[in-house]
Amino acid sequence: GESVGLHLPTLSVQEGDNSIINCAYSNSASDYFIWYKQESGKGPQFIIDIRSNMDKRQGQRVTVLLNKTVKHLSLQIAATQPGDSAVYFCAERTQGGSEKLVFGKGTKLTVNP
């Protein structure tokens, strides 16, 4: 069935370092993936998305990589800042089904000054 999970529940980095947050998915029929950032007490905030016909997509300080061979998704944050501290979720949508997004459990990123 559909399943989205994360390799690491927590990640701690130094300010200015690059961060890499990983996500494994199990449904090879998923055609669309999206990353969200959730700060404490707030709703998830859209970061970046990628379609399954792409391997890489870049935004402002963020890059998403998709490896369909091993069903792996990653979010790279360049020059991590204290304001990046949050929980990051990946979500997938399965082709041919409803437009439902299935979310993983999240990775908590802590940026140390």
Positions that interact with another protein (CB under 8 A): 4, 31-32, 34, 36, 41-46, 49, 51, 89, 91, 93, 98-101, 103-106
Shortest CB 106 distance to another protein, Å: 6
Shortest CB 29 distance to another protein, Å: 13
Q: Furthest-apart CA pair in the chain: how many Å?
A: 45
Under a CB-based contact definition with an 8 Å cutoff, are residues 85 and 77 in contact? Answer: no
- Return the number of the residue (89 or 111) whose C-beta is nearest another protein: 89
Shortest CB 103 distance to another protein, Å: 3
Tokens representing 50 are 């990628």
- Return the number of the residue (54 or 79) whose C-beta is nearest another protein: 54
Shortest CB 76 distance to another protein, Å: 20
CA–CA–CA angle 87, 93, 99 (5° rounding): 115
- Return the number of the residue (16 or 105) whose C-beta is nearest another protein: 105
Q: For residue 65, which of 93, 90, 40 has the smallest C-alpha distance? A: 90
Burial class of residue 108 (count of CB atoms within 10 Å of its CB; 0-12, 13-18, 19+) = middle
- Return the number of the residue (42 or 69) whose C-beta is nearest another protein: 42
